[in-house]
Amino acid sequence: MTIPSSAAQATPVPMLDLKRQYATIREQVRAAIDRVCESQSLVLGEEVAAFEREASAFIGAAFTVGCSSGTDALWLALAGAGVSAGDSFITTPFTFFASASSIVRCGARPVFADIDPATFNLSPHAVEQAIENQHPANLKGIMPVHLYGQCVDADAFEAIAVAHKIVIVEDAAQAFGATWKGRHAGTFGRSAAFSFYPTKNLSAFGDAGAATTTDLDVGEHMKRLRNHGAARRYYHEEIGWNARMDAIQGAVLCIKLRYIEQWNQRRRELAAAYDHLLRQAGLTNARGTSTSVDASRPLALPATAPEAKHIFHQYVVRAHRRDQLREFLQEHKIGCEIYYPVPLHLQQCFAGLGYRPGDFPEAERACAEVLALPIFPELMEAEQQQVVKAISEFYSK
């Protein structure tokens, strides 16, 4: 395909530019890393313990367990909550793979339920239907995912958990700092998991994660599990894993935690600016007013629940002719991503669960329509205008 000259000359707009963030905290980060290097205490230690204390205080958790990745955090949260072989656990098919693979890692069976088309989050009504219609054996709990940085309806899920005597384990990988009615993600369930992968709103200098809980016994259990099941060296009470956090990650996260409220607020401001620009361009209606896209109104903005304080880890739209739009934006050097192109119930590795196309139509439709646009705290107004101008150009053809 021949790229138009206007596209070839376009100034790139990155999906994410971590160099801009680093420039604002460079000296603090270098001092923290140098402190770790001088101490040569490189795994866990006081740097990680300090981050655990500060993260717990920030979100209101009783216990935070720093670990090696968001995926390990999900496993720790599940295993710490007692999920084991033979259990079933309900989650969404519209999420990153680790949400379901961590359930399998515990020896349990993922059970899927459809999403709310207005928010993309797991639907409480669909969860009730899954319990009634799929009759999951040994149902242990629900893993709601706070997708893109918006909390699920915590009240509804807590009611389901009480009614069915099951636990909630939150996948809060994308939602550090998000709240529901003033309560932070990571405090609704028996346990929760966060990711600090470099693309996340609170990001490490590599892979890292944390599991949180409001139950001290669960916290102690997760702490043992991340260290081969040992509360003290060489004495193993159970089979755990090496899921420890590096000290450098703890030190860097402590620095970034000082700025997370400021950065999250900036993300909300950028999302509001996108909403305005897209409406002004005639590309969409007000946020949450529709989940349909067509040639006359090619974009739809998901709803933000009034009880939720969204942190916009991603700014996601539904898009008419999504794949062609994505190709056009890429040709014009504008970053964009699809989160996620294939629902989990249709992934080859989960074929044995017996799900078929059409089982979860809202998740499948979202996979065909969603597109994430550039958003990070240092994104500039002119760059947002460039993104919207390119989208308008595409749909004017």
Question: pLDDT digit string (tens) for 164-212?
Answer: 999 999 999 999 999 999 999 999 999 999 999 999 999 999 999 999 9
Residues 218-274 pLDDT 10s: 999 999 999 998 888 888 988 888 999 999 999 999 999 999 999 999 999 999 999
Both 211 and 82 in one domain: the answer is yes
Q: What is the CATH number of the domain that holds 329?
A: 3.90.1150.10
Both 234 and 302 in one domain: the answer is no
Both 329 and 318 in one domain: the answer is yes
Q: Is position 10 within any domain?
A: no
Both 252 and 265 in one domain: the answer is no
End-to-end CA distance of the chain: 17
Both 127 and 232 in one domain: the answer is yes
Total structural domains within the chain? 2
How do beta strands 183-184 and 88-91 pair?
Answer: unpaired
287-292: average pLDDT: 89
Beta strand extents in the chain (DSSP E only): 63-67, 88-91, 109-112, 139-143, 167-171, 179-180, 183-184, 191-195, 209-213, 230-232, 235-236, 299-300, 308-309, 315-319, 370-373
Neighbours of 287 (CB within 10 A): 18
Among 125, 95, 88, 128, residue whose Cα is nearest residue 110: 88
Residue 42 has pLDDT above 80, yes or no: yes
Both 289 and 197 in one domain: the answer is no
Both 90 and 135 in one domain: the answer is yes
Among 345, 186, 380, residue whose Cα is nearest residue 270: 380
Residues 61-120 pLDDT 10s: 999 999 999 999 999 999 999 999 999 999 999 999 999 999 999 999 999 999 999 999
- This prediction has a pTM of 0.94
Residues 302-348 pLDDT 10s: 999 999 999 999 999 999 999 999 999 999 999 999 999 999 999 99
**Residue 330: domain span:** 260-396
Both 292 and 265 in one domain: the answer is yes
